[in-house]
């Protein structure tokens, strides 16, 4: 019985305290127009400063863009040369100097199945390295000869 009385009292008190507030009343937001106009003014000021900053920094931004792409292509050229070098040196690690027991010759070393694997590894690595090398050389020449065309093509992609 006590539980029922407590439940009724609780429900009655919640019902009395629950009031519907009208959120569209203008009285609740007295300074809204003033605050919004200040926010808009500040946003316009920041936008103007940002536009000025972009205009001032555009030449530096373009220099950094070109510098980065030139360095990336130089890295690609070095990577291609390094892969071609590894294509020659790595197979020499598992081949033998003794030519009496083996039929396949890989430059100055010999091997049977290892010799075939050495040639397959060499050809695949040379193809990958040459691809890196030639693609990077092509883009590097393109950037250095026609930087504006490179910029347009880059941003179209």
- Write out the chain's pLDDT in tens, 157 residues: 555 565 565 565 555 555 555 555 555 555 666 776 777 777 777 767 776 766 777 788 888 889 999 999 999 999 999 999 999 888 877 776 676 666 676 766 767 676 777 888 889 999 999 999 999 999 999 999 998 899 888 888 8
Q: Does residue 119 form part of some domain?
A: yes
Q: Does residue 37 form part of some domain?
A: no
Question: Residue 29: its pLDDT value, please?
Answer: 58
Provide the 3-class DSSP secondary structure of residue 40.
helix
Question: Residue 4: its pLDDT value, please?
Answer: 55
Residue pair 143/154 in contact (Cβ under 8 Å)? The answer is no
Q: Which stretches of 5-111 are assigned E, i.e. beta strand?
A: 104-106, 109-111
What is the extent of the structural domain holding 64?
A: 47-156
Q: Does residue 53 form part of some domain?
A: yes
Q: Does residue 5 form part of some domain?
A: no
Q: Does residue 64 form part of some domain?
A: yes
How many structural domains compose the chain? 1
Q: Does residue 11 form part of some domain?
A: no
- What tokens appear for 122 in the block? 């060499």
- What tokens appear for 61 in the block? 């931004």
Question: Residue 107: its pLDDT value, please?
Answer: 66
Q: How many C-beta atoms surround the C-beta of residue 25 within 10 A?
A: 8
Residue pair 83/127 in contact (Cβ under 8 Å)? The answer is no
Question: Residue 27: its pLDDT value, please?
Answer: 53
83 contacts: CB under 8 Å, gap ≥ 6: 125, 126, 128, 129, 132
Provide the 3-class DSSP secondary structure of residue 110.
strand
Pairwise CA distance, residues 87 & 120, whole Å: 10
Pairwise CA distance, residues 129 & 77, whole Å: 9
Pairwise CA distance, residues 98 & 96, whole Å: 5
Q: Does residue 147 form part of some domain?
A: yes
- Least Cα distance to 134 among 122, 142, 123 occurs for 142
Pairwise CA distance, residues 113 & 119, whole Å: 10
């Amino acid at each position: 019985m006590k539980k029922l009385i407590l439940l009724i009292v609780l429900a009655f008190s919640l019902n009395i305290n629950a009031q519907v507030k009208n959120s569209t009343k203008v009285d609740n937001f007295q300074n809204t127009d003033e605050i919004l106009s200040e926010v808009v003014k500040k946003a316009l000021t920041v936008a103007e400063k940002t536009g000025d900053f972009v205009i001032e920094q555009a030449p530096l931004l373009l220099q950094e863009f070109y510098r980065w792409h030139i360095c990336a292509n130089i890295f690609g050229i070095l990577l291609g040369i390094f892969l071609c070098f590894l294509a020659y040196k790595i197979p020499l690690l598992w081949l033998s100097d003794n030519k009496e027991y083996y039929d396949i010759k890989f430059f100055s070393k010999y091997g049977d199945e290892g010799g075939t694997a050495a040639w397959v590894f060499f050809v695949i690595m040379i193809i990958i390295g040459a691809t890196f090398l030639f693609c990077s050389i092509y883009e590097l020449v393109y950037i250095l000869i026609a930087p504006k065309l490179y910029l347009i093509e880059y941003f179209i992609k």
